[in-house]
Chains A and B, each alone.
Chain A
Amino acid sequence: MYPAAFEYLRPRSIREAVELLLRHGEDAKLLAGGQSLVPMMKLRVARPKYLIDIHRIAGLNYVREEHGAICIGATTRHVQIEQSPLIRDKMSMLAQAAGEIGDAQVRNRGTIGGGLAEADPVGDYGPVALALDARMKCVRPSGVREIPASDFFTFAYTTALEPDEILMEIIFPLPPRGSAGVYHKLEKVAGDFAIAAAAVQLAVGRDGVCTSIAIGVSGGGPMPQKPAAVENLLRGKKIDRELTEEAGRLIQDDAEPIEDLRGSAAYKRKALSAVLRRALTESLRLTTNNL
């Protein structure tokens, strides 16, 4: 638990951070809450020569509503997201997901930007970002761009971010009025990463027919997924037990989970099916209550 030597840099602005990143290239790593990076450094799996600490940059920590979306600064802590009245009110599944991350110590320090950039295959933000079509606003020397969530995750622990790019803000478009969102996570013990998780945002009409559906899942492969086939299956149909079962079968058949100490691939397939069905059932109950 003793990291290799590194130099600690503390830029005061995004601009300065971008410059430092450009200067030190592959030798540098951004440090946000340190909840993924520092353990990796202590195990000497990560060995950056330079640590660029962005979590003190002013103006990167905020939650606000703008143009029909909730915009969150990259260094906003998990606990702030969990407790934000705005998010709890308008995007409860995101608050729920943040509240399921690790333990209180991790949530007090870890950031949403770090969580997304880390791209753990079963991190808790991935499914929500995918379900809600979030956009990642990033900056690099050549300028600013937005990466849609569906392009952001490219493999386990790998994203579309360029080495000299910094994630600045995450933009979550507000879900349709009357829809209800549920994040359902299956974890071995409290504080663990998910075995599998499902984020479901659902709206139904008075006839029980699905008017809008957005799903994101994790545990079915090396990165979180947006299962379009399942969304298509449900959209425009009455969501009943049978259809839910079919959705479960579909996600299960398409999944290619990674086997690890949290479970065999065969088990994770079933676990994924179960969390999806449960999230669907629960969001159906909530959205029906909203009617």
Chain B
Amino acid sequence: MDFPINPPIGERVRRKETQRFVTGTGRFVDDLLPPGTLHASFTRSPCAHARINSVDASAALTMPGVRAVFTGKDIADRIKPMRVGGSPLLRPLKLYPLAVDKIRYFGEPVAVVVADNRYLAEDAVEAIAIDYEPLPAVIDPEAALEPGATPVHDVLGGNKVYKFHFATDGIDEIFAKADVVVKERIRSHRITACPIEPRAYLAHYSPDEDSLTMWSATANPHSLRGRIADVINFPEGKIRVIAPDVGGSFGVKIQTYQEELLLPFISRELGRPIKWCETRVEHMRNGRHGRDQIHYIEMALKKDGTILGLRDRIIADMGSTYTVDHSIMASALYMTGVYQIQNYAVDATGVSTNKTTHGSLRGIGKADAAYVIERLVDIAARKLNIDPIDIRMKNFIPAESFPYRNVTGALYDSGQYHLCLKRTAEIAGYEKLKQEQAELRKKGICRGIGVALVMEPTSSSRIHATGGYASCRMRIDPSGAATVFSSMGEQGQGHETTIAQIVASQTGIPFEKITVIHGDTLPTPYGFGTGSSRSSVVLMPSAWVAAKKMREKLVGIGARLIGVPPERLEIGDGKVFAKEKRDQAIAIAEIIRTAYGAIHLLPENMEPGLETMGTFVNPNIDYAPDDKGRMNTFSSYPYAGVIAVVDVDVETGFINIVRYCTVHDCGNMINPQIVDTQQQGSIMQGIGAALYEELRYDEEGRLLSSTFMDYRLPCVEEVPELALEHIVTPNPFTPLGAKGAGETGMLGPPPALCNAVEDALAPLGVKIRETPLTPDRILDLIEKAKSSHG
């Protein structure tokens, strides 16, 4: 296939955004303060599960600077409940922005105080007297499913809120006849994304104009606009949502939050701008959490390592006020990973517990699947005494089978898994590593080598949830500069740069003269949020479509002006010129002047001006399951081979990553520099998930890890020696040949590091089934293994 990868597409162009961020001149919600702004603060539940007997705000209302207090009861009959979105398989719930009669998780907002400044608001929050009647907290998702378990939502009766089943014919016979069956319980633990900027909102209702402006650190401005309109019953056309600079999302800012819907309501009630910027503690307790799945998984194999079938039972902890099912759906549909496995059965159950709402987080659900399958393949290899690379090579989907229809109906666009892992082994020096490992073992040093090949379904489309398209509108101004209006905002992805690269490549307008406007619902075309690594799969092609139309227009006008047919013209050096006779040319500046000012010279039927619109529909998507329940909800499938080398300190349980080697394939890269930095950051986030980070609840359902002292993120000193390479297998379904590039990095470390640590401790017979790999957990496993070996 032929891809229009002309410069500056494909170049390491420096990001337009970098300057303002590194010089501290970015503008975030917290930098904004319209005159008359009031500040909100929330009373949050100190327990995880309780009935609210009463809320008394009378004392708070008399405190200095306090303008209003709202409780759940105050708002429940005045606003509509929030929607539980994304799937007919989720049991519906009525959720309000403030708890009405029952608390369902630690930190849930119960009341909101509005005051002249945040300090006074916080003081008043302490004065609100709430009578709670504690109920048993439902924390363990397996216990939550047992008969007689306390229900988190009374109206539902039980805690099972989601059910999905899929099975191919004859799966049981396959297991019955297999040479070997490996069977494990593997759990992915609960983490959160920790963007550097927590959530931040500023709602400004103007009584004069009867209109609402909402500044939000959101990754999803257009959807938010519709939700606000719906919940507070206000015309969507009178709402403008603006996401100014946003300090990271990693998924957690793509969904709508209760505070985000409440602030517009309050602003409208009081006729004043209302601001609330979340603290880190609030974010840890209320921001979306991710992972937290238990898998009872079995794999049937032949003695030679050929995988015959896979059977999984998933129990996913959805938290209390679950809103989407993407996590569990993605795990269930993509468990077979990069392998030719056409016999598969899964039973997935979503459970409601008294924990924070589960939702999007870089690699949602797909990370769980990649983790579990890449662990299981390794465990099988060890059992069969086959090299972990060999067993993978034996079962990979071969390059010539793409596009490949997997067992659950997904159509993988393209891939060269064999080549990728081969190259990873080369850069890691795999054979030499094994020799070194043997020598180090003799000296008592526990070195481990961990292999994984992780695949990340990207660019999802679910009905009414993530949409299936993106748009860019562009204009060339009479001065010759271009402005592009993007339907998707950015939170660090570098769209301002990559969109400009595409437009420059197509239209010949210099990169420096292209401005990208995003995150504002007023000037930008409608579109869904930035997530699922969708930008390079749908947004960039939409910019390409808009720019291509613009190119056609420029060339068309040029053709008319110099009397050469368009198909013989080329754009370059600020000119439109004839390919064979370069001196037959006209300056683009002249064409632009003509388009605006001398419209009698335009080709027949051409509209004056230079504005175009490009929309790109997510290719390769099936919205509805077929009669066997198969569907394809993602459109592109990047992947990465990983070899991690670790040393385990058997006295302290500490893990040192000696080297992390990875070969990544996201198809064509619009800007390899941005892809590299996405990978690096993503890999570090994965290392954090594997080794350090964990959201831990106590038995009463209180979150213990509510600050960065208790939820440790890796920092620059934890960055290992990183070898990062790319291979390029273009995505045949998009005009740019690009696949998603934001998440694959994060998928690698959990399986690769677990495999490496298990390999390091293999002589002791240590098995890793729980994460994170904290020193105390590792040392405990070592000691148990030692004592059981006598």
Contact = CB atoms under 8 A, between A and B. Distances in A.
A1 B279 contact: yes
Interface in A242-266: 261, 263-264, 266
Contact of A261 (B651, B652, B653, B710): B710
A187 to B, nearest CB: 9
A291 interface: no
A5 B280 CA distance: 21
A1 B118 CA distance: 10
Interface stretch (B212-220, B287-295, B712-720): B712-720
Contacts of B651: 270, 274
A189 B718 contact: yes
A271 B653 CA distance: 9
* Residue from B123, B280, B651, B714 having most chain A Cβ neighbours under 10 A: B651
B122 interface: yes
A195 B775 CA distance: 10
Contacts of B704: 261
Interface string A163-206: 00000000000000000000000101111110100000000000
A189 B280 contact: no
Give chain A's interface residue range (CB within 8 Å of chain B).
20 to 34
B462 interface: no
Contacts of B279: 1-2
Contact of A263 (B696, B707, B776): B776
Give chain B's interface residue range (CB within 8 Å of chain A).
20 to 34
Contacts of A186: 652, 654, 775
A190 B715 contact: yes
A189 B717 contact: yes
Interface string B701-739: 000110101101111011000000000000000000000
Contacts of B776: 263-264, 267
A261 B704 CA distance: 8
Contact of B780 (A4, A5, A189, A267): A267
A2 B122 contact: yes
Given A195-B775, A264-B776, A267-B776, A1 B281 contact: yes
Interface in A184-236: 186, 188-193, 195
B123 A192 contact: no
A189 B653 contact: no
Interface in B742-790: 774-776, 779-780
* Residue from B123, B652, B710, B717 having most chain A Cβ neighbours under 10 A: B652
Contacts of B123: 4-5
A1 B780 contact: no
A43 interface: yes
A44 B123 CA distance: 10
Nearest to B713: A189
Contacts of B712: 188-189, 192
Given A1-B281, A2-B119, A274-B652, A188 B774 contact: yes
Contacts of B705: 261
A5 B710 CA distance: 27
B692 interface: yes
A144 B779 CA distance: 48
A189 B684 CA distance: 13
A266 B780 CA distance: 9
Nearest to B280: A1
B715 A191 contact: yes
Contacts of B696: 261
Nearest to B780: A267
A173 B506 CA distance: 74
Contacts of B774: 188, 263
21 contacts: A1-B279, A2-B119, A4-B122, A5-B123, A43-B707, A44-B122, A186-B652, A188-B692, A188-B712, A189-B715, A191-B717, A192-B709, A192-B712, A193-B709, A261-B704, A264-B776, A267-B653, A267-B776, A267-B780, A270-B779, A274-B651
Given A3-B119, A261-B696, A270-B651, 7 more contacts: A1-B281, A189-B714, A189-B717, A267-B653, A267-B779, A270-B779, A274-B652
